Amino acid sequence: MTLARLMIAFVGTELPRSAARRIREHGVAGVTLFRVHNVGDPPQIRRLTAAIQKARPAGAPPLLVAADQEGGQLVGLGEGTTQFAGAMALGATGDEELAERVAAATARELRALGVNVNYAPVCDVANNPANPALGIRSFGDDPESVGRLAAATVRGLQGHGVAATAKHFPGAGDTAADPHHGLPLVPRTNAELAGRELVPFRAALEAGARMVMTGHFALPGQNDDLPTSLSAAVLRDLLRGQLHFGGVSVTDALDMRALAQGSAQIVDAVVALRAGEDVLLGTADERALERLVEGLAQAQRRGLIDADDDAAARRRLGDLRRWLARYDQPSLDVVGCGEHRALAAELAERSMTLIRNDDRLLPLKPAADARIAVVQSMPADLTPADTSSTVPPTLASALRRRLAGVEEILLRAAPGEADIAGLGERLSAFDLVVVGTFSAHLQPAQAALTAAVLASGKPAVTVALRTPWDLLAYPSARTHVCSYGILPPSMAALAAALLGEAQFVGRLPVDIAGLHPRGHGLMA
């Protein structure tokens, strides 16, 4: 197999010699770009991807060059690309045509940057608010709705020459653990999977998704510690057999703690290939990658890699790479262009969701001399599949462009007792408070922050800046809004809606148990 079934990665904004050698001599399947390791500005990304393709053997079809450009909380190619709000914001609009347009714009930018595989759409159903790894990466908690939006995303991406990757098969929504840190359990029988988790994957595959990423989690009825990415029952029986998938399967990243790490990692890598996986997603740890390269070569020499399986996987990869070769590279001018920025603004505006307006505070109509406090903590990455920490807070500045009396109270990412204890006194000078929270239902400090604001007695608007379940942490809030993210277009849209310059038209894409059902949304 040489290394034709391995996606490599590396550290650096230029192609290292070691990576170029692996591409040239070992014939790897491709390269995954990671924001933390490889991404500067769009011209740099384009130069890097050109160098990657130049390193491949003469006459070979294009390598897979992949990234996590999901939008929302995971923008793998940096702030130079158009900042689309992501899956759950699309879920709040419920608009398949909009989802396809956003995916098409994303694909045009990826192609211009030299990226031809997007690790999207996320087909996981967000039916467990306690899931720490999913957040707003899902379209919602209704399988049929998730499926329609996932299929639209597949059409938009692949209509412009970017392979879509339906993930995380067979559905990682209903878990309370993060596979980056350990092996989660998804408590689903085969019948339950078919009726819920597999629905979006069926829709994505029917739309023609060329890749599927298998997740690292366990299912009941298998070995307790066998991840789905290493399971022949999942890969051969379910994905290839029942769903008739003929494209390329790829593991989730091999450095996730749901799998063995260190010297034992090669065992799981070989088991994945023997179970029917086409491609292994290697990461940028050079020592781990070298162990993987040596171990896979030895596994092949010892006959542990089935020759027929290897030939079939390489055939599927070849088909994909030849399909990618059909598409030309657009001009770099398309990245972050005016048309795409307008589309990002449209998505953000149409996703803003008003959940409660019991005190009729909205739209805000402050007096000319009113003082408004915007309270939030610094954005943080709540899972490794997260780029929120790179986004500067902009809600206060978006409001300040419209109102003179807006001041920002910005706390640490995890505000401590001292921060929160002093908040009431700081707020005494203000007439109104807007407080934004990040997954407050999972972070006690966020819940405590909001409790302090509500206890101040000041008129307050609470905003779930990330997941819509925050209201579970402060159910007494009387004026509550969901923005589904903190990217600048969403904060501009939120400011406009709060002040009545635009209407709230979004609808909840998930159920907030005991408080508000899916589809709920007010207008103000």
Tokens of 171: 């559905």
In percent, the amount of the chain with pLDDT more than 70 equals 99
CB atoms inside a 10 Å sphere around CB 499: 17
Average pLDDT value for the chain: 95
What pLDDT score does 225 carry? 75
- Tokens 């339906």 identify what position? 166
Closest CA to 118 of 253, 213, 190: 213
- C-beta of residue 174 within 8 angstroms of C-beta of residue 130: no
* CB-based contacts of 350, cutoff 8 Å, min separation 6: 92, 93, 95, 98, 505, 506
The whole-angstrom separation of Cα 200 and Cα 207 is 11
Q: Which residues pair with 117 in a beta bridge?
A: 66, 163
pLDDT of residue 272 exceeding 70, the answer is: yes
Mean pLDDT computed over 163-192:
92
Note the Cα 104 to chain centre separation in Å. 17
Mean pLDDT computed over 448-462:
95
What pLDDT score does 220 carry? 86
Closest CA to 6 of 305, 302, 235: 305
Q: Considering the candidates 124, 252, 419, 511, report the single residue annotated as catalytic.
A: 252
pLDDT, tens only, 11-20: 999 999 999 9
Report helix, strand or coil for 189: coil
In degrees and rounded to multiples of 5, residue 472 shows phi and psi of -60, -25
Band (pLDDT 50/70/90 cuts) for residue 302 is very high
What pLDDT score does 3 carry? 83
- C-beta of residue 436 within 8 angstroms of C-beta of residue 374: yes
CATH number belonging to the domain at 352-498, selected among 3.40.50.1700, 3.90.230.10, 3.40.50.170, 3.40.50.880? 3.40.50.1700
CB atoms inside a 10 Å sphere around CB 226: 18
Strand order in the sheet with 406-411: 353-357, 479-482, 460-464, 432-437, 372-377, 406-411
Mean pLDDT computed over 491-505:
97
Mean pLDDT computed over 298-314:
93
- State yes or no: is 252 an active-site residue: yes
Tokens of 32: 């995954």
The whole-angstrom separation of Cα 422 and Cα 430 is 14
- C-beta of residue 388 within 8 angstroms of C-beta of residue 355: no
* CB-based contacts of 214, cutoff 8 Å, min separation 6: 167, 168, 169, 170, 228, 229, 234, 235, 239, 249, 250, 251, 252, 277
Band (pLDDT 50/70/90 cuts) for residue 60 is very high
| Burial (CB count <10 Å: 0-12, 13-18, 19+), residue 418 | exposed
What pLDDT score does 48 carry? 98
Which residue did the predictor score with more confidence, 505 or 225? Answer: 505
What pLDDT score does 2 carry? 63
The CATH-assigned architecture of domain 6-334 is Alpha-Beta Barrel (3.20)
pLDDT, tens only, 328-380: 999 999 999 999 999 999 999 999 999 999 999 999 999 999 999 999 999 99
- For 339, half-sphere exposure in the C-beta direction (CA atoms, 13 angstrom radius) is 10
What pLDDT score does 460 carry? 97
What pLDDT score does 252 carry? 93
What pLDDT score does 455 carry? 93
Q: Considering the candidates 180, 340, 480, 516, report the single residue annotated as catalytic.
A: 180
Closest CA to 474 of 423, 435, 505: 435
pLDDT of residue 432 exceeding 70, the answer is: yes
Closest CA to 228 of 386, 154, 239, 261: 239
- C-beta of residue 458 within 8 angstroms of C-beta of residue 452: no
* CB-based contacts of 194, cutoff 8 Å, min separation 6: none
pLDDT, tens only, 216-254: 999 987 666 789 999 999 999 999 999 999 999 999 999
Which has the minimum average pLDDT: 305-314, 411-420, 478-487? 411-420
Mean pLDDT computed over 200-224:
91
- C-beta of residue 236 within 8 angstroms of C-beta of residue 249: no
What pLDDT score does 1 carry? 55
Mean pLDDT computed over 25-50:
96
Tokens of 429: 């000078």
Distances (CA, A) of 367 to 315, 364, 372, 403, 407: 68, 10, 10, 10, 15
Note the Cα 439 to chain centre separation in Å. 15
* CB-based contacts of 331, cutoff 8 Å, min separation 6: 112
Tokens of 372: 């408004």
In degrees and rounded to multiples of 5, residue 86 shows phi and psi of 100, -175
Tokens of 200: 């979006």
- Tokens 């085969």 identify what position? 190
Mean pLDDT computed over 13-36:
94
What pLDDT score does 190 carry? 84
Task: Indicate the pTM of the whole model.
Answer: 0.95
Closest CA to 201 of 174, 169, 231: 169
Q: Which amino acid appears at position 337 of this protein?
A: C
The whole-angstrom separation of Cα 477 and Cα 19 is 53
What pLDDT score does 361 carry? 96
pLDDT of residue 7 exceeding 60, the answer is: yes
Domain spans, the chain: 6-334, 352-498
Which has the minimum average pLDDT: 31-40, 164-173, 175-184, 474-483? 175-184
pLDDT of residue 134 exceeding 80, the answer is: yes
What secondary structure letter does DSSP report for 243?
S
- C-beta of residue 146 within 8 angstroms of C-beta of residue 200: yes
